[in-house]
A and B are shown apart, each in its own frame.
Chain A
Amino acid sequence: MNHCVPDFETDDDYFFSASANSKRHKKSAMGDEDIMELLWQNGQVVVQSQNQRSAGNKKSETMPSTAGREIRSGVIDEETTPSNLFMQEDEMVSWLHYPSDDNSLDLYLHNNDIPYPVLPSSSSAPATTLPSSLPPPPPPLVTVPPTRPPIPPLNRVDEEPSQPKFANFLHFSRSNKRGLAGSGPSSSKQMSQAITQSTVVESNIGCRGSMSSFGGAGTSSAGTGREPETCDVSASSSPGTGGSGASASVEPSSHKPPPATDDRKRKGRDTDDTECYSEDLEFEYHDPKKKSRGSASSTKRSRAAEVHNLSERSDKASMLDEAIEYLKSLQMQVQMMSMGYNMVPMMFPGVQRYMPTMPAMGMGMGMGMGMGMDHIGMNRGMVPYPSVLPGPQMPNSAAAHMGQRFPVPRFQMAQVPIMGPGTGEAANPSDPMMNSFPTQNANQPRVPFLDPYQQCLGLPQTQLAQQQQQQQNQTGMAAVTSKPSSSKDVRYPQRHPTG
């Protein structure tokens, strides 16, 4: 339904005001989506509902909407939608040259409620440069994210573009398409940098697991969001498990001068706490930040560097967390595979025997299995694993479960060399094996299973050695399998060794 605008031919101003009023009225009446627009059709401005323009050609879609926005008085803004820019650059260029194009952009964005990614709104400095001319994109883009340490919501009241990257697109269109070709690649790179920076800044707020440097593999997803818990649990478990020496040594080490980087960081922290600026001179770029924090002289530069530093630190922390989780999962995977490799040949004679011995294993292994190997056989019906793998149930208590977990493989690992070197020994009844078992444990320096980390550490080497032995003694294994029950009874301390 095309409404004829009353008498627009005579007076443009009147037309604009009237049409604006009418548009506003109609807009309010019809809701946000049914926006009346002024279309230049056939030399006449026609008020048309927004829905109708879809009937027209696609190219005119943007122009009418934006043209309609032009009529409204609004804040001049450089905002625009990247989609429009990408798809309809001609139109963008053409209507951008209109004086009130910024209005249209801003209003268009407002009306459509396009959710922009929350980025630190750029400072006024780059904003002022944007409308004036085509400034070099890198400086505003680079400085923009750091100058806004918190992430405030988009400020549409200001003339500020909320996203520097979008503003940069505007530069492209303003600079003409020829200029776009030249400045495109370089500016896009800077924009990507800015986007990366803003993404980095964003990531600091929310999930810290944005870095997938370790290949993800599900561990990152398991690791993200659990960092504080993981730290707490690990910190609490490590003293509890007998690794107190390590943690105890860590705390004093944090207070005495350790190696370079840690020392600097720690001293930088102490600066804030103790107001001692003497150490500030030691650092190259930590200095201004610490001083700024200490003296509250937060200049833009120091604040930017500090934000960068803080974001860097959080990235390091997230990376370290991810590394820890990944390493744990890898170790668990290796352990599982080696255990399976050793136990599968044992499973031939009878399956039911192994059932009761598994619950202890099942308690702790769910974490590792959930992370590394999702379907290790829990639903296969095969004994060693179904109870082992309830799923990624307790990722945070992995450390706590390690203590339960390791006695099992430890014993199993210890059994292999028993069988390996002496097949005659394997043929012995269980009692000698039980008796020899502690000695075997003593013989293996890495076997103490009270310390989960130690076990974890000793596992690879032990496995490698044992696998070699195992392969050499396949025939011995066959002999051993004739007495699986006895060996298994000895193998798992949880079960009463009845022989």
Chain B
Amino acid sequence: MSSRRSRQSSSGGPRITDDQIIQLVSKLQQLLPGTHIQRSNKASASKVLQETCNYVRSLHREVDDLSDRLSQLLSTIDADSPEASIIRSLIM
């Protein structure tokens, strides 16, 4: 199998197998909230990807929210304080 595929494969040495993809999908699923441990085998790859998209969107929203709060906090404190520098770094 691998020998046959080697001459036809375009990925060179490290072969990308379907199992690898499945493992990656499961790993991704583990990162998602609510779908870890026992539930990892329930979701299909498409569902995992869909939930990943939703989760990433929610994370983005949260980052924006946190940034807003941090900037508000930044305005309340002394700009020269180390806390202010931290907040600025957090907001990036």
Contact = CB atoms under 8 A, between A and B. Distances in A.
A388 to B, nearest CB: 11
Interface of A: 149-151, 201, 204-205, 228, 231, 234-235, 238, 243, 245-247, 249-250, 252-254, 258-262, 265-266, 268-269, 272-273, 292-293, 296, 298, 303, 306-307, 310-311, 313-314, 316-317, 320-321, 323-324, 326-328, 330-331, 333-334, 336-338, 340-341, 344-345, 347-348, 351, 373, 375-377, 380-382, 384-385, 453-454, 456-458, 460-461, 463-464, 467
A307 B46 contact: no
A425 B28 CA distance: 40
B81 to A, nearest CB: 8
B82 A324 contact: no
Chain B, interface SS category:
helix
20 contacts: A150-B10, A204-B10, A234-B27, A243-B36, A250-B26, A259-B43, A260-B44, A266-B19, A269-B19, A293-B4, A313-B17, A317-B24, A320-B28, A338-B66, A377-B85, A384-B86, A454-B36, A457-B33, A457-B36, A460-B62
A337 B68 CA distance: 11
B25 to A, nearest CB: 6
B56 interface: yes
A243 B56 contact: no
B22, B55, B82 pick with most chain A CB within 10 angstroms: B22
Contacts of A328: 31
A163 B2 CA distance: 29
A159 to B, nearest CB: 25
A228, A247, A250 pick with most chain B CB within 10 angstroms: A250
B79 interface: no
B57 to A, nearest CB: 10
Contacts of A149: 7-10
Nearest to B47: A259
Contact of B56 (A231, A330, A336, A467): A330
A344 B21 contact: no
Contacts of A231: 20, 23-24, 27
Contacts of B10: 149-151, 201, 204-205, 307, 310-311, 314
Contacts of B87: 340, 344
Contact residues on B (Cβ < 8 Å of other chain), bracket:
35 or more
Nearest to A227: B14
B7 A249 contact: no
B52 A323 contact: yes
Among all A-B residue pairs, the 10 with the closest Cβ atoms = A259-B44, A265-B18, A320-B24, A272-B1, A457-B33, A337-B66, A253-B41, A314-B16, A377-B86, A382-B82
B10, B24, B47, B49 pick with most chain A CB within 10 angstroms: B10
Contacts of B19: 254, 266, 269
Given A340-B70, A373-B89, A246 B83 contact: no
B59 A460 contact: yes
A316 B11 CA distance: 12
Nearest to B31: A327
A382 B83 contact: yes
B38 interface: yes
Given A205-B10, A307-B8, A380 B59 contact: no
Contacts of A345: 73
A245 B45 CA distance: 19
A246 B63 CA distance: 28
Given A261-B46, A345-B73, A347-B83, A243 B30 contact: yes
A467 B69 contact: yes
Contact of B40 (A250, A296, A334): A250
A314 B11 contact: yes
A262 B62 contact: no
Nearest to A461: B33
A323 B56 CA distance: 9
A261 B50 CA distance: 14
Contacts of A337: 63, 66-67, 70, 90-91
A249 B24 contact: no
